Structure 1
Amino acid sequence: MHHIRTSRPNRRSAGTAPALLSLLALVTGGLLAAAPSASAQQAGDPASNVKQLCATQAQPGMMHCLALERTDVKQHRGITADAAPSGLGPADLQKAYNLPAGGGSGATVAIVDAQDDPSAESDLATYRSQYGLPACTTANGCFQKTDQNGGTNYPKADAGWAGEISLDVDMVSAACPQCHILLVEANSANMDDLGAAVNRAVAMGAKYVSNSYGGGEDTGDTAADTQYFNHPGVAITVSSGDNGYGVEYPASSPYVTAVGGTSLKQDGSTRGWSESVWGSSGGGEGAGSGCSAYETKPSWQKDTGCAKRAVADVAAVADPATGVAVYDSYQASGWNVYGGTSASSPIIAGVYALAGAPGANSTPSSFPYAHTSALNDVTSGANGSCSPAYLCTAGSGYDGPTGLGTPNGTAAFTG
C-alpha cells in the first residue's frame, strides 16, 4: 500500500524565512585555509553568526535542509585568483581524510534535494575552476540535473534549498573530483517527494545517493524505509541533524548510513588534523545523535545502550566554525562558508564512490562496522547530555555524534 505522509499543501517556502541560530555550542575560533597553500581570511566570532538556510518544518513528513551559512564572512563573486575563499577547500578535505585526488572515475554520486537551484551548474563550474578541478558539465556528461520524474520540469526555485544544493555538489566535487554528479530535485520537501527522488536516482543508475535533510521521527517512518531507502547495493548517506542530541529521520532508517559531524582543525600531529564532536556538553546546536524511537536495530550495529537503531554511523566535518568553502550565487553573494551535517553527508557519499561500487546485494551502511581500524576515532566533545552517555559524548570506539569515526582513506567504505 502506498504510504502517504501528512503535510499542509500550502506550506511556507523553506527558504523565505531562514532562522538565525545562536550556536552557543561552538567553541572554536576562526576559519581554516581553503586552498592548498593560501591562508583564509579570518572572519569574526562564529558563535553567533550562523543562520539556517531552510526553516524547520514542524509537520509530520516534512523535511528541512540542514545547511548552515556563516554570516560573518566577507563575500564575493567569481574566481579569486590571488586569495583563497574562506573555508576548507578540496585539498584540505583530501588531506584530512586521506583521500586520493584521482579516484572515482566513472562513478555517479546522486544528490537529492527539494526545489530548484537555477544556478547549480554555473555555480559548480565556478567552484571547480577556483580549485583546479576538472570541469563537470552537462555538455561533457559529468553533470546532470533532473526532476523527481526523470525529466526537466523542475520545481519552483528556492533560495534556501539552492544554497543546500550548492553545498552538496561542491562537497561531492571536493571528496571525489572525478565523480559524475546527478542532481535530482524533488517537487517539495515532503518525504514522499524526496523519497521519490531517491528512487529516481537509483533507477538512473546512481550507486551513491546523498540526502542532506531531516525531520522529526514519526510512526510512518518504517513504511517510508521500505518505499524509498531499501536499495541493496546502493550507498545512501543521510545527515544526522544539526540540533545536537536527538534523532531525525531519514538518518534513523536502518537502510542508510547516518552521517554525524565534527569540528575539524589543522594541527601539528602526524595526521596534521584533529577532530572533536561538533557540539557542546552544555547542549545546543551540533551533530544529531541518539536512539530511534521506532526503527529496528540493524544486525551489524552492536552498541548495547540502545535497543533500536542508533545514530550516527560515521562522521565528517560539519561545524560552521571550521566550515567549508561553497559557491552559491542564486539570491546569495557567491563565496561563503557553510557547515551543518549537510556538509558531512555528501563528503561521505563521495568517499563511498572512491571506494568502489558495492556488491549487488550488499548493505553499504554495514561496511564501516567491519573496518573500524580504517577510521579516525573521534574521542572528545559532546552534543548534549544524555544517558547512556555515549549516545551524546565521544569516547573510544562507537559514539552517537560521530559514530565509528571519520574517513582515513577509503577502506572502511568497501564491502
Structure 2
Amino acid sequence: MRSLRKGTSTRTRGLARRAVPALLSATTLVIGGVIAATPSSAAPAPSAPHASATVSAAHAQVPTRRLCAHPSKPGYMACNAVARTDVKQHLSLGPHAAPSGYGPSDLRSAYNLPSGGSGQTVAIVDANDDPNAEKDLATYRSQYGLPACTTANGCFKKVDQNGGTTYPTPDSGWAGEISLDVDMVSAACPSCHILLVEANSASMDDLGTAVNRAVSMGAKFVSNSYGGSEDSTDTTSDAQYFNHPGVAITVSSGDSGYGVEYPAASQYVTAVGGTSLQQDSSARGWSETVWGSSAGGEGAGSGCSQYDAKPAWQQDTGCGNRTVADVASVADPATGLAVYDSYQATGWNVYGGTSASSPFIAGVYALAGTPGAGDTPASYPYSHTGALNDVTDGANGSCSPSYLCTAGTGYDGPTGLGTPNGATAFAP
C-alpha cells in the first residue's frame, strides 16, 4: 500500500509546482492560437486550418489555468492538463466552422502515423467521474469524421476502480482531463477501443488500483496523465501498480518545467515529455521544440529521479538513476489541442499539458501492435531511435548536466529520444 494507507508519509505532492503565466499582449494572442473558430471547407472538418499556420512562435506564452488543483494531502496526485483561457469556447459549431487547436489530421500528419489499432484497447486511468465522458467523446469524433466509439458498439467502456459501475464523485477538473485523454487516444488511434477506469480519488493508492484494474480487464496500453513529487515509497508503488510485463504504460512527465514527478519516474513506464509543434516548410512539414523556457516555469517535466533505479536500456551518463523523459509529443497550450468538454467547461476548448502527450503516445503504442508478453515496452524506443524525430532546440529550465533540461542531438530530458515518426519506435 502507498504511504497514505500506512500513515507514514510526510509528502505533500506537487507543492513545488509553479503557477502558469497569465499575462499576454494582444499580438501574442494571435501568434499563440486563433481566438475563435474559423471557417472550414469541409464538414465534418478534418482539422482547424488556422491552427498550423498561426502558431509560429515556439515559446509564445498564453494565459492558461490548471484543470486540477495542487494536491492538498500527502500521497495525492494532480492531473497534468492546462486550458487556454484566451480562446473562446463553443458549445456547438456552425456547419462551416472548425474548433480552434490541432485536430486528428494535424497530429497524424505531424507524426506520420499509420492506420491500424483495430481490436486494441487503450485504457485511460483518471480520478473521479466525468458524467459526460461518452457523449463528449461522440461529439469530438463526429466533428472530425472518426468512427463512432460507444458503449453500444463495444468500443467504449467506463468502469470504476473495482471494474463496476459505482462511479466516484464527479469532479470538474478531472472531467476535463478525461475529455483530453479520450480525445487524444482517438486522434492517435481512431480504430482503438477505449477503456476509462475512474479511481475513487486522486490518491496514488486509488489510481494505482485503477491501473491494476485496467490491466486485469485486458488492456495492453494504459495512460496516466497525473503526477506528484517523488518520495521514498515510490519503489513500493512501482512493484504494486506499474510492474506489468507485456503492457505499455505511459505517464505524463509534468507541467512545471525542470523537475521530476512520480509515477513518470517509475522504471516500468514510458515517461512522456512535451513539445511545441509548428507547421513549417521542411520536408516533414512540421517542427518541434521543447515546451518550456530556459527561465523555467510552465513546461514539460524532466530530470534525474531521486529514488528509482535506472532501467537497463537507458544509457545517458549524467544521471545514475532513472532519467525522465523517454519520448514526447505536443503539449504546449500555445500550440494546443482541440478538445470537447461539456462538463468542465463550455464545449470546445484548447487544452495542453503533458496530459495530452501521454494518451497520445499510448495510442501510438497501440498502432505499433501488442507488446511482447514478457517485455517492458518502455524499452522499445531505445531500440528504434532512428524512427523518432529528434528534438534539438529549447529548454525547460536551468540545470547541470545541461541535457537534463536542454534539448540537443540525441537523448535529452525534456523530450527523451524524440517524437513519433510513424509507430515503428513503439513496436517490439
- TM-score, normalization by structure 1: 0.93
- Select 1:158's aligned residue among 171, 175, 184: 171
8 Å Cα contact 1:40/1:84 also seen in 2: no
1:60-99 CA deviation, whole Å, 9 max, x = no partner? 3110001000011111113542111000000000000000
| Equivalent position of 1:22 in the other structure | 21
Where structure 1 has 5 or more consecutive residues not aligned to the other structure, the ranges are 9-13
What is the CA-CA distance between 1:6 and the residue it aligns to? Answer: 5.6
- Select 2:83's aligned residue among 65, 69, 94: 69
- TM-score, normalization by structure 2: 0.90
- Further displaced range: 144-153 or 330-339: 330-339
1:297-326 CA deviation, whole Å, 9 max, x = no partner? 000000000000000000000000000000
Q: CA RMSD in A?
A: 2.3
| Equivalent position of 2:357 in the other structure | 344
8 Å Cα contact 1:229/1:236 also seen in 2: yes
1:128-178 CA deviation, whole Å, 9 max, x = no partner? 000000000000000000000000000000000000000000000000000
Identity of aligned residues (%): 73
1:47 equivalent to 2:61? Answer: yes
Separation in structure 2 between the aligned mates of residue 282 and residue 247 of structure 1, nearest angstrom: 17
8 Å Cα contact 1:60/1:216 also seen in 2: no
Separation in structure 2 between the aligned mates of residue 252 and residue 324 of structure 1, nearest angstrom: 25
Indicate the SS of the match to 1:390.
helix
Separation in structure 1 between the aligned mates of residue 342 and residue 169 of structure 2, nearest angstrom: 17
Separation in structure 1 between the aligned mates of residue 215 and residue 184 of structure 2, nearest angstrom: 20
- Select 2:390's aligned residue among 366, 370, 377: 377
8 Å Cα contact 2:173/2:344 also seen in 1: no
8 Å Cα contact 1:237/1:346 also seen in 2: yes
Separation in structure 1 between the aligned mates of residue 68 and residue 254 of structure 2, nearest angstrom: 13
Aligned residues: 404
Indicate the SS of the match to 2:237.
helix
Letter in 1 for 2:315: K
Indicate the SS of the match to 1:47.
coil
1:13-55 CA deviation, whole Å, 9 max, x = no partner? x9xxxx9621689989322799546533779x97241000001
1:386-410 CA deviation, whole Å, 9 max, x = no partner? 0000000000000000000000001
Aligned pairs for 1:220-231 (under 5 A) are: 220-231=233-244
8 Å Cα contact 2:293/2:299 also seen in 1: yes
Letter in 2 for 1:311: V
8 Å Cα contact 1:80/1:130 also seen in 2: no
Separation in structure 2 between the aligned mates of residue 37 and residue 210 of structure 1, nearest angstrom: 24
What is the CA-CA distance between 1:57 and the residue it aligns to? Answer: 1.3
- Further displaced range: 77-86 or 25-34: 25-34
| Equivalent position of 1:98 in the other structure | 112
| Equivalent position of 2:33 in the other structure | 31
Structure 1 consecutive aligned stretches of length 4 or more whose deviation exceeds 2 Å: 2-8, 23-43, 45-48, 78-81
8 Å Cα contact 2:62/2:334 also seen in 1: no
Q: 1:331 to 1:404 in 2, by over 3 A?
A: closer
Separation in structure 1 between the aligned mates of residue 261 and residue 216 of structure 2, nearest angstrom: 26
- Further displaced range: 281-290 or 77-86: 77-86
What is the CA-CA distance between 1:124 and the residue it aligns to? Answer: 0.2
1:355 equivalent to 2:368? Answer: yes
Indicate the SS of the match to 2:98.
coil
Where structure 2 has 5 or more consecutive residues not aligned to the other structure, the ranges are 8-12
Separation in structure 2 between the aligned mates of residue 374 and residue 320 of structure 1, nearest angstrom: 26
Letter in 2 for 1:31: G
8 Å Cα contact 1:324/1:337 also seen in 2: yes
